[in-house]
Amino acid sequence: GDVDYKKDKKFADLLSDKNTAVSEFARKKTMQQQRQFLPIFAVKEQLLSVIRDNNVIIVVGETGSGKTTQLTQYLHEDGYTNYGMIGCTQPRRVAAMSVAKRVSEEMNSELGEKVGYAIRFEDCTTENTIVKYMTDGILLRESLRESDLDNYSAVIMDEAHERSLNTDVLFGLLRDVVARRQDLKLIVTSATMNADKFAEFFGNVPVFRIPGRTFPVDVMFSKNPVEDYVDAAVKQAMQIHLQGNPGDILIFMPGQEDIEVTCESMGERLASLEEAPPLSILPIYSQLPSDLQAKIFQKNKDGVRKCVVATNIAETSLTVDGIIYVVDAGYCKLKVFNPKIGMDSLQVFPISQANANQRSGRAGRTGPGQAFRLYTERAYKNELLLNTVPEIQRTNLANVVLLLKSLGVQDLLQFHFMDAPPQDNILNSMYQLWVLGALDNTGSLTKLGRKMVEFPLDPALSKMLNVSVEMGCSAEILIIVSMLSVPAIFFRPKGKEEESDAMKEKFQVPESDHLTLLNAFEQWKRNSYGSTWCTEHYIHVKAMRKVREVRQQLKEIMDSQKMDLVSCGMEWDVVRKCICSSYFHQAARLKGLGEYVNVRTGMPCHVHPTSALFGMGYTPDYIVYHELIMTSKEYMQCVTAVEGTWLAELGPMFYSVKDTKQSRQERKKVAQASMTKMEEEMKEAESQIKARKEE
């Protein structure tokens, strides 16, 4: 039978303490004691009284003081759940899930019942849920349906100092909601940064500071700039470990790849030493499967030291107890709009001073600690920014524009942002939406645009799904979109590269990675969605199950939008054409032997080695790509061969049949003119606002 994927309790099961020897009674008792030991507990009554007297308050406290796990429970105990839910937003999925799990245990309820969480494509709540942790993106989408958030009696915007894109948009929206709803409590929490700015934004609301209880941390800088931070971090951690003093280690790395290399290299070094005491090396990053993520919270077995290797997720979102040593590589990955490629990309940047101090602080939670910064004091003082630039000022805003437009914010310059995004960003995003057909020449939502907003997807994917209905291949595109919405499907274990590559080749459709994904799913379906089949074919079974779940959820939205599921059978050219209809702005042309250049910019770009089109001797004249990733080179990931004529037909603002330089310039002119027109209208709107303000 079909499994109900909507209620994913597997995460909960994996985390459960069923296999520990501690009695239920002892566990609960210690949990209550732990709660009472948190700094926030000491000020509980004062805090609740400030909340009773004010509709909006800012709560500031060190990481680990109990804001995320306790505030919701305090509000519940104070009766706020009698007339609505308590919602708590998190910028990160991992935090939403793991904190919900923790709080459900503290409240002695099964995860998904009284306490639940919701992240994109995963709703672990029921009608009984009174405390709901969710990503900020989820609450933002909920505001589309319920602009006053009537289901909630209190909303906690947690981790506001992170200034994530969605949190920043929520700031603007919630500011109006609290003005309309006198019965809603809004609590904004921050880890010691930006509090006054938040207070001012909401009209000089009170700031409540939780007295900290932290231990001193010795901060050590590197004497000379380090050449290889992974290598330096491994050496530093090994040195700490071999010295033999107790305490766990936390290493900060910019991203998954570096974390993997660090863990591996540390494992190898450990294995090469005969007398080395055991060390439990635990990676954590957002794409890590949740059962492995949960391991960082488990108690050290037999006193084995833990070494957690994390992204900035461990900076403030998740508190790992017992950390005495922090090793900070000094970098993080940030999403930035890259004008060269005309889209966002994740790039490695030096952290800010605020980040650096948060990271060091993690060593002083349980006792005096030590922080090793793998950069010089000079670099810290002269090269690091004081604070990270908020996401809203550095990324593509296409999704935000689409959302705000559909919320009736006609003029984005009028929207009350805490820090307004640069006008160029807004215009660029509007331009992209115009190219996709979501906005018309006046910058208003089109019929297509309105339908696109319904899907929790990037605009291009949303468009593809919408267009696929008319093109007669929505059944296929739905699977492809679902496959693209989960982390990697194929795995390639060390030492089994050849076997796994050979297996993957079985699925490969020479002209398209998208079709390869479709093919893999179809074959899995033909094999009764089996898990053994997955393992045999080096495919992540969990990822595939997630695909089914995502597919089901998108299908429900399609149903509600009266979008039919139609199949093109084996006519996969139709599918390729549909892909082209939404990705024509990301096209590359063959130039020379196996070399591609971006059709619009002329910039060289390379087919990613994991692609079906890589090194197969098949080099179509034109391809479109799902995304560009920047490593040593610019790689196009997930590509599909298309016809030049399709590009001309589907992306007329860019291409003509005879792609001569002149006609391309003409296209560019048309596009430019349209953008200028939009710009003028926005300026016009701006002057109207000014005039209105002066009145």
Binding stretches for ligand ADP (CB under 6 A): 38, 61, 63-70, 98-99, 101-102, 297, 319, 321
Closest approach of ligand ADP to the CB of residue 80, in Å: 18
If contact means CB under 5 to 8 A according to the sort of partner, which of ligand ADP, Mg ion, none does residue 102 touch? ligand ADP
Nearer to Mg ion, 316 or 582 (CB): 316
DSSP 314: G
Contact in structure between 74 and 222 (CB atoms under 8 Å): no
CA angle 173, 127, 143 (to 5 degrees): 15
Nearer to Mg ion, 68 or 611 (CB): 68
How many residues make contact with Mg ion (CB under 5 A)? 2
Closest approach of ligand ADP to the CB of residue 674, in Å: 46
Closest approach of Mg ion to the CB of residue 583, in Å: 38
Angstrom distance (rounded) from CA 586 to CA 601: 10
Q: Which amino acid is at 304?
A: V
Rule CB under 5 A: which of 48-87 touch Mg ion? 67-68
Contact in structure between 582 and 461 (CB atoms under 8 Å): yes
Angstrom distance (rounded) from CA 262 to CA 225: 19
Q: Which of 289, 276, 287 is nearest to 311 (CA)?
A: 287
Q: Which of 553, 429, 392, 399 is nearest to 486 (CA)?
A: 553
If contact means CB under 5 to 8 A according to the sort of partner, which of ligand ADP, Mg ion, none does residue 254 touch? none
DSSP 445: B
Nearer to ligand ADP, 212 or 644 (CB): 212
If contact means CB under 5 to 8 A according to the sort of partner, which of ligand ADP, Mg ion, none does residue 99 touch? ligand ADP
Q: Which of 502, 610, 486, 496 is nearest to 542 (CA)?
A: 486
If contact means CB under 5 to 8 A according to the sort of partner, which of Mg ion, ligand ADP, none does residue 137 touch? none
If contact means CB under 5 to 8 A according to the sort of partner, which of ligand ADP, Mg ion, none does residue 69 touch? ligand ADP
Angstrom distance (rounded) from CA 355 to CA 340: 28
Sequential DSSP letters for 153-175:
EEEEETTGGG--HHHHHHHHHHH
The separation between the first and the last C-alpha atoms of the chain, rounded to the nearest angstrom, is 66
Closest approach of Mg ion to the CB of residue 99, in Å: 7
Closest approach of ligand ADP to the CB of residue 210, in Å: 8
Angstrom distance (rounded) from CA 467 to CA 469: 5
Report the Cα 348 to chain-centroid distance in Å.
16
Nearer to Mg ion, 68 or 262 (CB): 68
Closest approach of ligand ADP to the CB of residue 216, in Å: 19
Nearer to ligand ADP, 17 or 176 (CB): 17
If contact means CB under 5 to 8 A according to the sort of partner, which of Mg ion, ligand ADP, none does residue 65 touch? ligand ADP
If contact means CB under 5 to 8 A according to the sort of partner, which of ligand ADP, Mg ion, none does residue 449 touch? none
Angstrom distance (rounded) from CA 259 to CA 681: 47
If contact means CB under 5 to 8 A according to the sort of partner, which of Mg ion, ligand ADP, none does residue 98 touch? ligand ADP
Question: Residue number with the shortest CB distance to Mg ion?
Answer: 68
Q: Which amino acid is at 548?
A: R
Contact in structure between 438 and 452 (CB atoms under 8 Å): yes
Contact in structure between 93 and 46 (CB atoms under 8 Å): no
Contact in structure between 375 and 225 (CB atoms under 8 Å): yes
If contact means CB under 5 to 8 A according to the sort of partner, which of Mg ion, ligand ADP, none does residue 321 touch? ligand ADP
If contact means CB under 5 to 8 A according to the sort of partner, which of Mg ion, ligand ADP, none does residue 345 touch? none
If contact means CB under 5 to 8 A according to the sort of partner, which of ligand ADP, Mg ion, none does residue 61 touch? ligand ADP
Within a 10 A sphere around the Cβ of 265, how many other Cβ atoms? 16
Closest approach of Mg ion to the CB of residue 158, in Å: 6
Bridge partners of 539, per DSSP, are 490
Nearer to Mg ion, 67 or 551 (CB): 67
Provide the 3-class DSSP secondary structure of residue 468.
helix
Contact in structure between 47 and 40 (CB atoms under 8 Å): yes
Closest approach of Mg ion to the CB of residue 159, in Å: 6
Nearer to ligand ADP, 297 or 533 (CB): 297
Closest approach of Mg ion to the CB of residue 677, in Å: 46
Q: And the tokens for 660?
A: 């001569």
Within a 10 A sphere around the Cβ of 584, how many other Cβ atoms? 26
Nearer to Mg ion, 162 or 391 (CB): 162
Q: Which of 509, 579, 496 is nearest to 536 (CA)?
A: 496
Closest approach of Mg ion to the CB of residue 214, in Å: 15
Nearer to ligand ADP, 70 or 399 (CB): 70
The DSSP H or E segment spanning 345 is: strand 343-350
Nearer to ligand ADP, 113 or 411 (CB): 113
Closest approach of ligand ADP to the CB of residue 98, in Å: 4
Q: Name the burial class of residue 269, with classes exposed (0-12), middle (13-18) and buried (19+) by CB atoms within 10 angstroms of its CB.
A: middle
Closest approach of Mg ion to the CB of residue 525, in Å: 41
If contact means CB under 5 to 8 A according to the sort of partner, which of ligand ADP, Mg ion, none does residue 545 touch? none
Nearer to ligand ADP, 181 or 295 (CB): 295
Nearer to ligand ADP, 296 or 481 (CB): 296
Interface residues with Mg ion (CB under 5 A) are 67-68
